[in-house]
Structure 1
Amino acid sequence: MNIETVWREEDGKRLAATLWRAGDGYRTISSAMLGGGIRTARWVLNAQVAGAYSRTDPAVHLAELAAAYGLEGPGVGMLTAASVSRTMRRDDEGVHVSATVGLRVPTWAAAPAGAPDPELAPLDGTSRPAWTPGTVNIVVAVPVPLDDAALVNAVVTATEAKTQALLEAGYPCTGTASDAVCVAAATGAEPEVFAGPRSTWGARIARAVHAAVHAGALDYTRYLDSRD
């Protein structure tokens, strides 16, 4: 996975994005705003936005950015308020992972019904804020084909590894309320049918995601400490 970092000026800030120009031959499963679901994809874009992001059409915004970067054909696009220039990359026996980790509002997936969510708290005390982009975005590249069920299993495995890494890094949470993930699997051969954490490729996904997210969480802690 050859990822490049590009920069742009937006909302008065210099913002980074990572691009993976994968080309033909990949099938993706993603929760991303642009290119989500199961599909073929030629590229993956993870773009940083300002913390006070106020656009209500993130998919359109991502399509505009993709066009500006010369990305053609179907692809996957994600937004994050985390520092994309601090993206962590880890590999494990052919699996490649990149992760941006920002934990401004660590969140448990299951919370009591009706409990206030700090991610959705009004900015001015009276009105709901604009949509807040995800803060833990994960891209996984697997060099073998995965069938549909294995693709879903790979997302579960990556999510479990993410949560394990966050807990081990000292963050009592399962992630944030708007995390995104993309798993890209090669095409062209007989697909693998398993991607759980004890399968051959699932174990590699788990280790690579865990390593990237754990490193990103520790880096985020150092970043917070440096601001004190």
Structure 2
Amino acid sequence: MQVHKNYDGDYKKDCLEFERANGLENFVGFMTAADIEKVLSIAESGNVKAYITAGITNPAIAGDEPPRFLSKTINIALVIEEGLTLGAMANAIMTATEAKTYTLLNLGYNATGTTSDGIGVFAFEGEQEWAGTATRLGIDIGRAVRKALKESLKKWEKTKDSL
């Protein structure tokens, strides 16, 4: 859901209105002030597809006092075509976060993320128990996140002054 760059609204109310206006029911989504059409990037590796929108006007480092809040963020939606346990889903979040952090640092951003990043893992319930960096699934998560985030950030860099 795209919001204005100075958004400071009632997110619960606004999301419910968005859900109703779009005929959705019990949806899961993200809010962003990044121009979704301009920065959305999708990358696939194995059974993993990463959908990422990125904008970095509020970079942060975990454990440091955050800068003043601005409205750009990194949102990651992982769609995994495997049946995962709850533990594997948590593991997938960890692996995706590591890939995000590596990508940011590798591209020269002095940040581990932004102050308002979001991540969602969408998979069927199943028997796959692990999604860490030593597993095939973890490698695919890392590759998809790194590729999509790098592409999204390149798109954002080209358009950030016009947003």
TM-score by length of 1: 0.66
| Cα displacement (A) at 1:134 | 5.8
Q: 1:60 aligns with which of 8, 13, 17?
A: 13
Q: 1:158 aligns with which of 77, 84, 96?
A: 96
Q: Is the 8 A contact 1:157 1:206 kept in 2?
A: yes
Equivalent pairs: percent with the same residue?
33
TM-score by length of 2: 0.91
- CA deviations on 1:119-150 (whole Å, 9 max, x unpaired) are 34xxxxxxxxxxx6561000000011111111
State the match for 2:68 in structure 1: 119
Q: How many pairs are equivalent?
A: 161
Q: Give the Cα–Cα distance (whole angstroms) in 1 for the partners of residues 68 and 93 of structure 2.
A: 23
1:141 aligns to 2:94 (yes or no): no
Q: Give the Cα–Cα distance (whole angstroms) in 2 for the partners of residues 59 and 78 of structure 1.
A: 12
Q: Is the 8 A contact 1:109 1:177 kept in 2?
A: no
1:109 aligns to 2:45 (yes or no): no
List runs of 5+ in structure 1 lacking aligned partners.
Answer: 1-46, 121-131
Of Structure 1 and Structure 2, the greater helix share is in 2
Q: Give the Cα–Cα distance (whole angstroms) in 2 for the partners of residues 140 and 199 of structure 1.
A: 16
Q: Give the Cα–Cα distance (whole angstroms) in 2 for the partners of residues 210 and 156 of structure 1.
A: 14
Letter in 2 for 1:184: F
Mark the structure with the bigger radius of gyration. Answer: 1
- CA deviations on 1:166-193 (whole Å, 9 max, x unpaired) are 1122211101011000000124xx4200
- CA deviations on 1:71-115 (whole Å, 9 max, x unpaired) are 12x22121111121120111111211110000012111121xxx4
List runs of 5+ in structure 2 lacking aligned partners.
Answer: none
Q: Is the 8 A contact 2:95 2:141 kept in 1?
A: yes
Q: 2:30 aligns with which of 75, 78, 96?
A: 78
State the match for 2:114 in structure 1: 176
State the match for 1:222 in structure 2: 158
Runs (4+) of structure 1 exceeding 6 A deviation are none
The higher relative CO (CA closer than 8 Å, separation ≥ 6) is in 2
SS in 1 for 2:100: helix
